[in-house]
Amino acid sequence: MVISFFMSIPQHNHIIQFINYLKFQKRYSIHTLTAYEKDLFSFEDYLRKKVGEEDLVNVAPALVRSWLATLKGENISSRSINRKISSLKSFYKYLMKEGVIVAGPMEQVISPKIKKRLPQFVAKEEMNVLFSAVEFSDDFRGETERLVLQILYESGIRRAELISLKEQHIDFANSTIKVLGKGSKERIIPVGNALLASMRKYLEDKIKLPCEANRLIFLVNEHGRPLTGSYVYKTVKKYLGMITTIEKKSPHILRHSFATHLTGDGADLNAVKELLGHSSLAATQVYTHNNIQKLKDIHKKAHPKS
């Protein structure tokens, strides 16, 4: 079971069963499980204070709306409120599936509208500068940092997928890597010759480390231990800070850059969807909006009647 943020609250059996369902059957990530649990126990806490009981089964839509209004009054963002609504919708859908309830309270709850934010990305020219002009230290650490950036940008994988990438999942014969994504779904991603050569050399240098390196996980630090999420984040922030002025400088920005550059060069949207491991095409379509906006900006600057 996930460790709760609300350990002082008596844990509701239905919440525990729901979290276990998401963990063992749906195979959600620990971060998603924690978010669901936090939202549900927060709602249960609200019920206890509002009506003096914690019964999540017999809840009227008005109580849900009252909770959401309270959150809005606390200046909780629309995005966060929508996530909490999503948590409740999933929970009550599960209760209906299990036959605990016939109908849930969420059908009459409307999510607040959110202004869509286009994902930030690093320009191609800046990425070229990163790999052609930026100097990395001439040791194993420098080699690791450069390879982290290469893999993130050239494959579009997530940070968690990167640090869990295994040696055995690199197929040099077929120029592919196997990635374990969200929900433990596997996908195969093609790898370019230059990146493949870097990965091959990395394995050779990894064996030469004076310490005994982890041979299960592909990427390790100079002490032979698997990389942490913090290590990857700091590495990306450090080097992107050298080549771009965009506000965000996280590993996910390289994923956005990968997808935006592919769609900008005419890649099939369904193919990009598969490479990213998205469950729906809608999540991938946002990258076409970046290119449309770019065209609009060009038109505005260049067209005499704009």
Q: Give the pLDDT band (50/70/90) at residue 83.
A: very high
Q: Reply yes or no on whether 278 is catalytic.
A: yes
Domain 13-108 has CATH 3.40.50.1480: no
Count the alpha carbons within 13 Å of 247 in the hemisphere toward its beta carbon.
Answer: 2
At 22 the pLDDT is 93
Q: Reply yes or no on whether 255 is catalytic.
A: yes
Q: Reply yes or no on whether 200 is catalytic.
A: no
Across 217-244, average pLDDT: 97
Q: Give the pLDDT band (50/70/90) at residue 29.
A: confident
**Picking from 27-31, 178-182, 271-275, which range would have the lowest pLDDT averaged per residue?**
27-31
Q: Give the pLDDT band (50/70/90) at residue 242.
A: very high
Active-site pick, 14, 84, 249, 255: 255
At 8 the pLDDT is 37
Domain boundaries, the chain: 13-108, 124-301
Q: Give the pLDDT band (50/70/90) at residue 7.
A: very low
- Tell me if residue 71 falls in helix, strand or coil: helix
Which residues touch 45 (CB under 8 Å, ≥6 apart)?
A: 6, 9, 54
Q: Reply yes or no on whether 12 is catalytic.
A: no
Q: Reply yes or no on whether 158 is catalytic.
A: yes
Active-site pick, 38, 48, 83, 278: 278
Residue-wise pLDDT for 135-147, tens only, equals 999 999 999 999 9
Q: Reply yes or no on whether 252 is catalytic.
A: yes
Please say if the pLDDT value at position 305 is more than 80.
Answer: no
At 113 the pLDDT is 77
CATH of 124-301, one of 1.10.443.10, 3.40.50.2030, 1.10.3720.10, 1.10.260.40: 1.10.443.10
Active-site pick, 23, 166, 178, 182: 182
Active-site pick, 14, 84, 146, 158: 158
pTM value is: 0.67
Across 192-199, average pLDDT: 96
Rounded CA-CA distance 136/130 in Å is: 10
- Report the share of the chain in percent with pLDDT over 90: 68
- Is residue 202 within 8 Å of 210, Cβ to Cβ? no
Please say if the pLDDT value at position 189 is more than 60.
Answer: yes
DSSP bridge pairs for 166: 217
Rounded CA-CA distance 242/244 in Å is: 6
Residue type, 173: A
Rounded CA-CA distance 65/59 in Å is: 11
At 10 the pLDDT is 43
